[in-house]
Structure 1
Amino acid sequence: MSSHLKSNVIPPSRQREKPRAGLTWIGQSIKRVEDPRILTGKGGYIDDVVVAGMAQAAMVSSPHAHARIVSIDTSKAKEVPGVIGVYTGADLATVVDPCPSFASPPVPQHAMAIDKVRHVGEVVAAVVAEDRYIAEDAAALVEVEWEVLPANVDIEASLEATGDAVLHPDDRKSNCALDESFAFGPVEADFAAADRVITRRLRWNRSSAQAIETCGVVAQWDAFKGGYTIHANTNFYSFIPFVIGGSLRVSPGELKMIPVLTGGSFGSKVFIHKIIILTAGLARLAGVPVKYIEDRLEHFTNSDSHGSDRLYDCELAVMEDGSFKSMRFTVLDDYGAYLQFGVGTHGNAMAQVTGPYRIGSFGMRVIAVLTNKCQQGPYRGFGSEVTNWVMERMVDAAAEELGRDPLELREQNMIQPDEFPYMIPTGNIYDSGNFQEVLGQAREMFDLDTWRAKVRAARAEGRCVGVGVATCMERSVYGPTEWWSLNNRETPGFTLTSTPEGISARIDPSGKLFVTLNSCMVGNSPETVVTQILAERLTVDPADVVINYADSQTGFNGVGPQGSRFTAMVAGACVTASIRLEEKLKRFGAHMLQRRPEDVELRGGMVAVKGLKDQEKSFAEIALTSSFFRLSFPDGEEFDSGMETTAVYDHPLSTDPHPEREHLGIFYPIVGHICHMVAVEVDPETGKVEILDYAAVHDNGTIVNPRTLGGQVWGGTANGIGTTLSEQFVYDADGQFTNPNFAEFAMPTAHEMPTNFKLGHVETPSPYTEYGIKGGGEGGRLGAPSALTSAIEDALRDRGVKIAALPVTPPILRGLIRDADAAAVAAE
């Protein structure tokens, strides 16, 4: 271990439920508990919410990327019959404060622009009317006079901008929001000692999640009590509602946020604070409940959830024998017009930035750049998908320059099974793993040797066929220090260190187990997971578990499904709750059986005397008696009525960052591993890529439900295929968003997916989580871009094409082929 990590001590495990064979419900592919109501159309989405007297809102959005607002004339809009009110940013600012920000120093952002717009689609006025049709018609009559300012689109050019081209001149003199450098371990010495330094410039372009439902809010202001009731399709409603309350100028006790089904998230609805503040403010101004749901154009241009947009200059230090010594890069990150999460996406990536490889040191300079685009937000992977791709691109480059087989080079540098828990240079640990077994299973499932023979035969026929491999990490169960550990040390911002998950549970007199969650469903399977774990721990039938959801006032802290955390975290809460319920059941049941608590056990939904089959009491009988027959038990508080409990489970393993950032501490340690192998054929005349075969092997620790995990991996892989082959947000030189629709932002369909996708699993349980569970929600997207890029480059190897940017759409790929062909002709 490098000396800079000596202060980063791994705390002992607090695991209570060990991984083991012979479990009844954990590991079974039971059908999703959530599906019946969703598939029958009774799920309850945001547009299903109707409040008495509710009006609807429509927005007036900026057509310019950068402009001062000279004047806004709302008079014509106010005359339209059915219009309740028309409001500007100045009006909204009388009832709400700016949006919260985790950046430090923060970049001020209002839910509605006041004096200046900084990207196309930013809201400048809103109409509240009796229905959405009237509101839209009236919004078209609002007249805005603009003073157009220079637009910043290019990352590098925006850094040099001055004068009117600076986005936030009142707060900073340039468009650089942050410029910090880090060295974890002896980076300079390792590079000096290397035999070779592999260099590449790599570009990851922006795209975003496009869920089936856009962001939406129904907000109601209670003028008598002085508070808000808000329905919103966010999955972050119960963790830090006080932050949103602060912007709304109310206390948490005056803010009730009620969850609904999100209609998909993929990260994009983690923190939709802007639309919540906007809609709530309109409800207060108008004096009526207001519903606002983004249309698809608004979601494209103003959702605050664009994915990563980065330019890397990378270096990998290697020895002639192929061993990796160090890696470093400078990254320019185009954050758009604001900076809600600071450089948290890079904090996230630091959890696994050196991949599955033994690399002794790592260095990074991160420069956050402001441009006239919609700002970044969480998107499946939250930055780790990018650094996975960067790492794998550099490994492929090293294999090429060293003349090595890419698979053998990876295997040579992999962390060995006996080295876990393994601490990487940034300070995070990998809790467990067997990367070699994952690789071996993928190789066998994909039949790599056969495919390599097929590739040789196809090339002999003049076809462009190639195979690619990616061996990547899937960090899960995050700790929140990732959000601020890379901020300036003097002003790190909101330095929170807790990411809890909680449940409440009670057994009612009928014997049903009622469970309340504090995090909503975002397309994952929270009810199914909780049902399986509680059924396992309490020996009940899954059909006897009933799941409900709390609102922000009746529940307590729950961060919810993001960062591949929910299954592992809610499992911890379930174990805590079930331990407490078990203790109560045994105490009451033993008394009813005239036994000692240590003489009874839980068995098939019964409290039974150990070793005897006919001496038992059902949970229903115990719950009934404990709830309504208090005098049947001793007079002590340990026999207080009822059979219920609450439980909060915090992070299973985390430590603080080093004060001087010599390391970042342990913050994302429950780490899975993935290996994707893919075969593709490229049509050099059109640039079209056809996926011929695909195999993915994932290690997500102990699997709770193979069916639902398989769906996550398959969906994530499809997501990654879109990122690689088709999806990109394109802004022109004036900052105009040129493809904000599904005709031009080309998401893949079933026709682009591999028809023979093969999925395998290796289970190396975590020694830190209950039952050894790891996360699995993002792995497909974390691996697919790297594997596909490698395969495409391999298919075009004979033509000299190099892939240094994503996506590789057919026109882009055709251009690369054309340039390579022209270079080859010129060389002759």
Structure 2
Amino acid sequence: MAQTEIPKPEAPRDLQWIGKSIKRVEDPKYLRGVGKYVDDLDFDGMLHAAVLRSPYPHARIVSIDMDAARALPGVHAVISGAEAAEMVDPMPDSGPNPDKHVFRVLAVDKVRYVGEGVAIVVADTRYIAEDARDLIDVEYEPMEPIVDPIAAAEDTTNLVHDELGTNIAYERTFTFGEVEQDFADADIIIKDRLHWRRCAAQPLDCAGAIADYDPGTGEMTIHSNSVSMTWFAFGLAATLRVPSNKLNVIPIPSGGSFGSRFGNWRAHTTAGLSSKVTGRPVKFVEDRLDHITNGDHHSSDRYYDVELALMKDGTFRSLKTDVIDDYGAYLYLGVGTHGNAMAQVTGPYTIRSTEYRLRAVLTNKTQQGAYRGFGAEVANWVIERAVDKAAAELGMDPAEIRRRNFIQPDQFPYYIPTGNMYDSGNYERVLDHALELFDYDAWRAEQEKMRADGRKVGIGLVSCQERSVYSATEFWFWFDEPAAETTSTPEGVTITVDPLGNLTVTLYSVPFWGNSSDTMASMLAGEEFGVDPSTISIEHHGTKGGLPAAGPGGSRLTVMYAGAIKGAAEKIKDKARLIAAQQLEASPEDLEWVDSGFQVKGSPDVRKGLPEIAMAAYLFATELPEGLQSGLEARHVYDHPFTTMPSKDRTDLGVFYPCMGHACHIAMVEVDVETGGVKILRYVAVHDAGTMVNPRSLEGQIIGGTAQGVATALLEEVVYDAEGQPLSTAFTDFLMPSAMEAPEVIIGHEETPSPLTEYGIKGGGEAGRMMAPGAMSAAIDDALTEFGVHVSELPATPERITRWIGEPAPR
């Protein structure tokens, strides 16, 4: 495929607000407790829903008796799966063969995991709904649970979905470049077998929705804490059998997401169905048990065989990846997590070819969904594990082997073997910054002294990518004949200047997310108009009558807001220029925008400020230039900044994730060989997310993401036993880090602007979790080098660490 020439990036100049650390404009309302999350909302006549969950991982539903539940005072409706299937359609499913593994809000014929919904109870209060739920009598015919994905891939008799005829929902091998030749020419082949175990996003605020259906008009309003529903509202309308122009999903602040609020299909459908049945507003908010066992946010659960081909001098040639991914019972998001992985599969290195084999396997577990990193964090861990193993094989310092293979600054824009493009970067500069900030040489020397005292101390280093700003092409390049070759991933905004020159920015996606939507929009609009961000009003629009918007997934929203706000600002300035020119009796071409107004070039005293222009626009129509209407407002939809189409044979996937951030993390840990406990002694993270908008909020992302990455490396795991029963259904068993376990992170920044985006911004929302698992794994290896330990599965719990210490060193 022909490669488009991209201009070299230039650092933006003369910026007033972008690059400054300011406090979030959202903070006051949340700190005062008036932020209003979805469970804080109350409406006249509102009812409450609770869901009966399956206690079996795999069983046929023989019968269901709901009479006792319906008879309980205060109960307004009890809905079975069969009844629900008559009233609402399946939920949206972008996986292969959605007609053969139908994704419904309630099970109809059989249950496929512990926690799957079987019935909905709607009552005056949540307490009554839960009491009535306990009165429902379901007769099950238990079936053999399908738990091991490797065994499930070979089993053709016991199936999660009989209609599929297999437990492998998707299988394909992609080859990019001369893989076999590069392996044949290589001096050394590094092989590794790895297991990234399942964990899950655990925000304070679980998924929730309040639906209000008006049977007289057919209108339905849903208040929801989904972070991406604007884009998918037409799919929800189809599920609920509501005309798309009569559905209004109103975004409510989300108290944390980390990807778990991506769609909220179950919450929307549960509340919407219940409202249609009762004719009253209905609230459904997950409790923690709902969230863990019946949510859509479990992370990747992957088994890898990986091979790295390299030369004796440490230069890399090719990479083979063979992965089995345990998707649980449904594949509703398709294999999109592997698109994220393939966007940066070769990492920051000049690897010439790569092969990627994927088998997506169904089991009797909760389905996967979105969790921070969305599969790319696993790919980072895998390649960095192989690189560390190569460094050990060659006796090279981990920093040196990476430096030797980095893509160089003059090679950007750089196309990796899959066809994706990295827009810009200086990876060696990031590495050097991290080494200096960590004081690497000094701590290596100190490490030897500590080891001489018998302490098991290790230092781990990784250099990882953070892809951002996805293109819709990654949803369908998996198939030779996709159902729809979509290419739109837009974000719209409206900017209104009132008669006094004050600005209001209307957004069409989530009202609160990790990097702070109100703050980002305020800073970007403040930059465009030269006004203080604190003076700007931010509003959030529902889906009905709104502009296209895809929300914050894939670390995209700051980039997209920048493009949309700049586009709307330019439209307003074009009109304002004409008005100012008439007021000043000057040619529009002779005016320039300076200090929030237009002035005559070379005559700064001859000017009109934005308030004067706005007043004329609103109140003096007869004095406006011919053809202009009253008011000063603009709407703008910004599409993806740069994408190319996949080739027909899929040997080139096109450019679908081009805004490539980068980071180096270095961790120093001490391991207790008796208990397997890991203590973090020092942690450094240097990130390059292009031009920073608000360093303060980006650092918050890095700190929070690093804490989550450390948790993934050491603590958090969704565990199922051999019978398919979940064993980590509460925080007593799903262990999240406290301030005692999360490290103090020493943060550094580099800024390599993107040539593709306004101001050179790149995404940074998944920062930290993309890198920390690899750094922690490498540090544990280094601490236990005398035992030959190589961290091959996560989390590296104390039990596993003590087991590895006692095992013979891997060959």
| TM norm. shorter chain > 0.5 | yes
SS state at 1:177 partner = strand
1:540-573 Cα deviation digits (max 9, x unpaired): 2223311100100132111111111111111001
- What letter is aligned with 2:496? R
Report how far residue 406 of structure 1 moved.
1.6
Equivalence for 1:796: 784
1:177-202 Cα deviation digits (max 9, x unpaired): 01101100011111111111111100
Report how far residue 308 of structure 1 moved.
0.3
Equivalence for 1:526: 517
- 1:404-553 alignment to 2 at 5 Å? 404-486=396-478, 488-490=479-481, 492-520=482-510, 521-553=512-544
Distance across 1 between alignment mates of 2:58 and 2:96: 24
Report how far residue 329 of structure 1 moved.
1.6
Distance across 1 between alignment mates of 2:203 and 2:513: 10
* Match of residue 127, structure 2, among 107, 130, 133: 133
Equivalence for 2:232: 240
- 8 Å contact kept, 1:8–1:655: no
Equivalence for 1:782: 770
Report how far residue 122 of structure 1 moved.
0.4
1:686-711 Cα deviation digits (max 9, x unpaired): 11100000111001111111101111
1:254-280 Cα deviation digits (max 9, x unpaired): 111000001111111111112211221
Distance across 1 between alignment mates of 2:120 and 2:484: 31
Report how far residue 43 of structure 1 moved.
1.2
Greater CA deviation, 618-627 or 373-382? 618-627
1:585-633 Cα deviation digits (max 9, x unpaired): 1111121122221222223223323333433223222212211211122
Report how far residue 206 of structure 1 moved.
0.5
- 8 Å contact kept, 2:6–2:755: no
What's the TM-score, normalizing by structure 2? 0.98
Equivalence for 1:3: none
- What letter is aligned with 1:157? A
Greater CA deviation, 539-548 or 450-459? 539-548
- What letter is aligned with 1:121? G
- What letter is aligned with 1:418? D
SS state at 2:180 partner = helix
Distance across 2 between alignment mates of 1:619 and 1:414: 48
- 8 Å contact kept, 1:92–1:285: no
Distance across 2 between alignment mates of 1:312 and 1:612: 67
Matched, 1:168 2:168: no
Report how far residue 12 of structure 1 moved.
5.1
Distance across 1 between alignment mates of 2:309 and 2:534: 56
- 1:753-772 alignment to 2 at 5 Å? 753-755=742-744, 757-772=745-760
Distance across 2 between alignment mates of 1:593 and 1:699: 45
Equivalence for 1:805: 793
Equivalence for 2:295: 303
Greater CA deviation, 477-486 or 456-465? 477-486
SS state at 1:690 partner = strand
Distance across 2 between alignment mates of 1:719 and 1:77: 41
Equivalence for 1:740: 729
Say if 1:345 and 1:627 are closer, same or farther in 2 by CA, change over 3 A. same
- What letter is aligned with 1:116? K
SS state at 2:539 partner = strand
Report how far residue 102 of structure 1 moved.
0.6
SS state at 1:353 partner = coil
1:744-781 Cα deviation digits (max 9, x unpaired): 100101111223x2100111101111111111111211
- 8 Å contact kept, 1:344–1:484: no
- 1:300-339 alignment to 2 at 5 Å? 300-339=292-331
Report how far residue 493 of structure 1 moved.
3.5
Say if 1:353 and 1:239 are closer, same or farther in 2 by CA, change over 3 A. same
Equivalence for 1:724: 713
Distance across 1 between alignment mates of 2:661 and 2:26: 26
* Match of residue 552, structure 2, among 540, 550, 561: 561
- 8 Å contact kept, 1:102–1:341: yes
Distance across 2 between alignment mates of 1:564 and 1:804: 28
Report how far residue 8 of structure 1 moved.
4.1
- What letter is aligned with 1:524? N
SS state at 1:570 partner = helix
- What letter is aligned with 2:673? P
Equivalence for 1:19: 11
SS state at 1:238 partner = helix
SS state at 1:348 partner = helix
Equivalence for 1:611: 602
Equivalence for 1:109: 103
Equivalence for 2:196: 204
* Match of residue 150, structure 1, among 135, 144, 157: 144
Report how far residue 722 of structure 1 moved.
0.5
Equivalence for 1:274: 266
1:772-819 Cα deviation digits (max 9, x unpaired): 111111121111000110001100001222210000112221222233
- 8 Å contact kept, 1:27–1:705: yes
- 8 Å contact kept, 1:466–1:791: yes
SS state at 1:481 partner = helix
Equivalence for 1:705: 694
Distance across 1 between alignment mates of 2:251 and 2:756: 31
- 8 Å contact kept, 1:103–1:493: no
- What letter is aligned with 2:485? T
- What letter is aligned with 2:756? Y
- What letter is aligned with 2:661? G
- 8 Å contact kept, 1:388–1:786: yes
Distance across 2 between alignment mates of 1:522 and 1:772: 21
- What letter is aligned with 2:148? D
1:520-554 Cα deviation digits (max 9, x unpaired): 12232111111112211212222331110010013
Report how far residue 11 of structure 1 moved.
6.0
Identical positions, percent? 49
- 8 Å contact kept, 1:92–1:282: no
Equivalence for 2:243: 251
1:459-512 Cα deviation digits (max 9, x unpaired): 1111100000000001111112222222x313x344321111110011001211
Distance across 2 between alignment mates of 1:331 and 1:279: 37
- 8 Å contact kept, 2:408–2:427: yes
Distance across 2 between alignment mates of 1:90 and 1:494: 30
- What letter is aligned with 2:344? Q
Equivalence for 1:572: 563
SS state at 1:133 partner = helix
Distance across 2 between alignment mates of 1:297 and 1:79: 26
SS state at 1:225 partner = coil
Report how far residue 240 of structure 1 moved.
2.4
Distance across 1 between alignment mates of 2:436 and 2:609: 49
- What letter is aligned with 2:315? S
Distance across 2 between alignment mates of 1:340 and 1:182: 22
Distance across 1 between alignment mates of 2:188 and 2:607: 72
Greater CA deviation, 719-728 or 87-96? 87-96
Report how far residue 14 of structure 1 moved.
12
- What letter is aligned with 2:447? V
* Match of residue 43, structure 1, among 21, 32, 35: 35
1:57-113 Cα deviation digits (max 9, x unpaired): 111100000000011111111111111111101111121001111112223111111
SS state at 1:678 partner = strand
- 8 Å contact kept, 2:298–2:368: yes
- What letter is aligned with 2:325? D
* Match of residue 632, structure 1, among 617, 623, 639: 623
